[in-house]
Amino acid sequence: MENISRKKFIATTALAAAGLPFGLGALAKPLALPEDINGVYPAATEKIKVSIFSKHLHWLNYTDMATLAAQLGFDGVDLTVRPDGHVSPERVTDDLPKAVEAIEKAGLKVYSIVTNIKAADEKDTEPILKAASALGIKYYRTAWFNYDKALSVQANIKAIYKQLVGLAAINKKYGMHGGYQNHSGDLFGASQWDLWLSLEGLDPNYIGCQYDVRHATTEGADTWPVTLDLLKAYSKTINVKDFYWDKKDGKWQVKSVPLGEGMVDFKKYFSLLKQYNINGPLSLHCEYPLGGAEDGARKLSISKEAFSEAVKKDLTTLRKWLAEYDL
Q: What is the pTM of this model?
A: 0.87
Residue 16: per-residue pLDDT: 47
Residue 171: per-residue pLDDT: 98
Residue 186: per-residue pLDDT: 87
Residue 104: per-residue pLDDT: 98
> Do 243 and 219 contact (CB within 8 A), yes or no?
no
Query: CATH classification of 2-324 is 3.40.50.1010, yes or no?
Result: no
Low pLDDT (below 50) residues in the chain? 1-41
Terminal Cα distance for the chain, rounded? 30
Angle (nearest 5°) at CA 87 between 85 and 88: 80
* Three-class DSSP category at 119: coil
Residue whose C-alpha is closest to residue 100's, from 181, 92, 83? 92
Residue 46: per-residue pLDDT: 87
Domain boundaries, the chain: 2-324
* Three-class DSSP category at 249: coil
β-strand partners of 177: 139
β-strand partners of 238: 211, 282
